[in-house]
Amino acid sequence: MAYPLQLGLQDATSPVMEELIQFHDHTLMIALLVSTMVFYTILTTVTSKLTNKNMLDSQGIETIWTIAPALILFLIAMPSLRLLYMMDEVNNPHLTVKTIGHQWYWSYEYTDYKNLEFDSYMIPTQDLIPGQFRLLETDHRMVVPTDSPVRMLITADDTIHSWAVPTLGVKMDAIPGRLNQTTFVVSHPGVFYGQCSEICGANHSFMPISVEAIPLIHFEDWSTSMLAKI
C-alpha cells in the first residue's frame, strides 16, 4: 500500500502489475538517459569557448540523430504493445464480482450462485482502531480468492466514479448505464487498498476500495458467513 514520501509505484500483487512496473522502469530509464545526454550536450555547448562561423550542415550527424530516436521509440513501443495485448487476453474467469459506485460508497455483488450483495463505506477517522489506515479502511471488504482470475464488472448508480486498486494494476471508470469489464489475478493473500479515481462530489476522497485476498478454501466460508449476516 501507499506510504509517506512514496516516489515510485506500489509493489505488485498481480502478474500484470509486475509487467507494468517493468515497462515503467524500462521507459523511465530511457527517458533519464536521453535527458542526461541532452542536458550534458547543452551544458558543454553553452560553456564552450570554440566558435565556428562557417558550419552550415552535416549529413552524418543529422542521419544519426534521426535514426537513433526512431530506434529508441521502437524499443519503447515493442514492450508497450506486448503488454497492451497481454492485458487484453481472454482469461476465462473463475468468479465474477460486480461493483457499483454510489455517492459516496461502493457496493459489491456476487451473483454467480446466490445473491450476495453488500455496501462498503469508509470507516470515519474518529472510529478507527489503532493500526487501521486513515481514509482507506471500509466496513466491508471485497473478498476474492488468490490465484483465481476474477472478472470485475464496474458501473455506477448516479455519477461517474472510478474503481482503482494500484497494487493490482487495475483502474476502470464506473459509468451509469454502462458495464465496464476488467480482470485481475491476485498473487498472494493480503489486504489491498484503492481510492475513487473520478471526481464525484463532496466525498469523492472518502469512498475507498479495500480488497481482501484469501486462499480459495476459505473463500466459500466467507461468502457463506456474509450471506448469513446480510
Partner 1 sequence: MSEAINEKIKNYSTAPFDARFPNTNQTRNCYQNYLDFHRCNKVLSAKDHDVTACEWYKRVYKSLCPIGWVDKWDEQVENGSFPGKI
217 is a contact residue toward partner 1 (CB under 8 A):
no
Contact by Cβ (8 Å): 144, 211: yes
Minimum Å gap between C-beta 179 and partner 1 is: 5
**Nearest to residue 154, comparing CAs of 140, 169, 164, 167?**
164
Contact by Cβ (8 Å): 100, 106: yes
Maximal C-alpha separation, the chain: 87
Minimum Å gap between C-beta 12 and partner 1 is: 22
Minimum Å gap between C-beta 196 and partner 1 is: 18
Contact by Cβ (8 Å): 8, 20: no
All three cell numbers of 186: 491476485
Q: Which is nearer to partner 1, 10 or 14 (CB)?
A: 14
Residue 122 exposed, middle or buried by CB count within 10 Å (0-12, 13-18, 19+): buried
Q: Which is nearer to partner 1, 97 or 207 (CB)?
A: 97
Contact by Cβ (8 Å): 119, 99: no
Q: Which is nearer to partner 1, 160 or 172 (CB)?
A: 172
Query: In 3-state terms, what secondary structure has residue 76?
Result: helix
Minimum Å gap between C-beta 69 and partner 1 is: 33
Q: Which of residues 152-211 bind partner 1 (CB under 8 A)?
A: 153, 155, 157, 172, 177-182
Q: Which is nearer to partner 1, 62 or 220 (CB)?
A: 220
Instruction: Name which position in 1, 20, 30, 94 contacts partner 1 (CB under 8 A).
Output: 94
100 is a contact residue toward partner 1 (CB under 8 A):
yes
Interacting residue ranges for partner 1, rule: CB under 8 A: 90-96, 98, 100, 109, 111-112, 115, 117, 151, 153, 155, 157, 172, 177-182
